[in-house]
Amino acid sequence: MTDERSMRERMLAGELYLADDPEIRELSLRAMDLMEAYNATPARDTVGRRKVLEELLGAVGEGTEIRPPLRVDYGSRITMGSGCFANFGLVALDVAAITIGDDVQIGPNVQLLTPTHPLDPGPRRAKWEAAEPITIGDNVWLGGGAIVLGGVSIGDNTVVGAGAVVTRDLPANVVAVGNPARVIRTLDPAPE
């Protein structure tokens, strides 16, 4: 029995797929065109920049700002809550969903990387890949240069230090640093 699903359906299901599939390639080209428009929009044209961002991303909350340049795979699999701020150079590779809560602060050159690749050399050479989602809770701060890998959830109010590499889930209300990121401190929960 053969699998009749398209590569796009396989990608959306988090299964192995080929990224050079024509339908997936078209989605990527759409995102590249929108990224180019977003990154080239004059800083003072906040209305125009917001319009392009809303077309590029799956959802973007009120008062959220992303400073260009912004780089994504597809954009449509990224949702950002209200009151978020991402500094220059955000890379959000959204083969799988990237869900960002409200009031999240993202430092410069942060990378959110959902793609994964087979460890076995044969399928990797054949260009098969997959992805795992990333979930970032409310009021999280990702320090400059932090990297968050696919399959990771970060709890509310957590701080990830500059340059940290987050390879596994982090609970709410902690500070995590290093490579791989490890919890070094517990924070008092935010007052309601």
Active-site annotation holder among 117, 124, 127, 185: 117
Respond yes or no: is residue 117 known to be catalytic: yes
- Distance set, CA 61 to CA 25, 69, 81 (Å): 28, 19, 4
Alpha helices in the chain (DSSP H): 7-12, 22-40, 46-56, 121-125
d(CA 113, CA 111): 6
Beta bridge partners of 115: 131
d(CA 159, CA 22): 40
> What are the catalytic residues?
117
